[in-house]
Amino acid sequence: HFPDVNDIRYTAVSGFIYLRLFAPAILNPKLFQLQSRRPSRETSRTLTLVSKVIQSLGNLDTHQAGKEKYMEAISQRVLDMKHVNGVKQFLEDVCKTDQKDDSSSNNYNKEGKLVEYRVAGLIGRDYSNKRKKLYRLSDQGFTCLRYDESYTIKRSDIKCVSRVDEDAFGVPHVFQIIHSKGTVYLRANNSVDHFDWITCLTKMCKESGSKVERYHTGALLHNKWTCCGSKSVAHETEGCHVVSDEKEIVPEIDIYRELQRLYQILVDGINKIESYRTSLMENKAGDDAELNKRSLASLNNLVKVIQDLRSTHEHYELK
């Protein structure tokens, strides 16, 4: 449709990838779950400049960012033909399709790092017996990609996927994959990742048609299940939970991340709270003296809590 524009096949794709994905994620990392809280004003300014450069690269423009004087230095170092050609090669790779048989294609559904817990009935809570590995979920099954311990749980062998009680390992975001040869316990990085893995694996499990009727939500530690206290090893016959056919999996709230976000809001706003408290102290005999007194008492308690939390955090970080 645009024979006179040589790079239209690149800008048509980059306009979507860079403008709708990369640039918004850089400008608002919290919205894309790349960060647990909003960046500071100084950081936001830096991210804005980075986003401008990224968009200029996406537009294959080596002059656009140089229109502003404060962007000239970065324009000379980044916005050159070497980097533009690199963007073109990246877009070529993104749009490349393999004309191969479906059985040999790499149609990956999810990939990421998880912590695997190894559990034996008599070992108990051995927290050193865990490793962080790279895993991939594909149409063929669930694969561990660690070079010295690689293995694949075939799609047809996955019988059940469920959350694991936090009491089992003393940490949140753990889930289990029950398959024909045993059970794998894995911990995700956060609640969002935890929800995504369980959703994808559950969908695969339902499509395979191979599943158990009962399962345990805990782990077999000290030769006893943490969830119900049973000493039976079998999941299928003595499990304390029945597999349901619920269509939706309700995501859990990451309490630890939300508390950290609340703490950061309080710490960032301590100066405003102190300023308001000072103004109340100077206006004790004002029109609303009783209201000011109650407000001042609440602010004093809040400031004390923030100071205690900050002291606890600093002590923890020193360890």
Q: What pLDDT, on the 0 to 100 scale, is given for residue 53?
A: 82
Q: What pLDDT, on the 0 to 100 scale, is given for residue 45?
A: 86
- pLDDT digit string, tens, across residues 192-220: 788 889 888 888 877 766 677 888 888 87
List the alpha helices (DSSP H) in the chain: 8-17, 23-27, 41-58, 72-78, 81-95, 166-169, 191-208, 235-238, 255-268, 270-282, 289-318
Q: What pLDDT, on the 0 to 100 scale, is given for residue 76?
A: 74
Q: Is the pTM of this model over 0.75?
A: no
Q: What pLDDT, on the 0 to 100 scale, is given for residue 127?
A: 44
Q: What pLDDT, on the 0 to 100 scale, is given for residue 250?
A: 53
Contact between 23 and 96 (Cβ < 8 Å) = no
Is 286 exposed, middle or buried (CB count within 10 Å of its CB: 0-12, 13-18, 19+)? exposed
Q: What pLDDT, on the 0 to 100 scale, is given for residue 121?
A: 44
Q: What pLDDT, on the 0 to 100 scale, is given for residue 318?
A: 61
Q: What pLDDT, on the 0 to 100 scale, is given for residue 175?
A: 93
Alpha carbon distance 235, 242 (integer Å):
10
**Residues with pLDDT less than 50, the chain:** 65-66, 100-107, 121-128, 236, 247-248
Q: What pLDDT, on the 0 to 100 scale, is given for residue 176?
A: 92
- pLDDT digit string, tens, across residues 92-142: 888 876 554 444 444 457 888 999 987 654 334 444 467 888 898 888 889
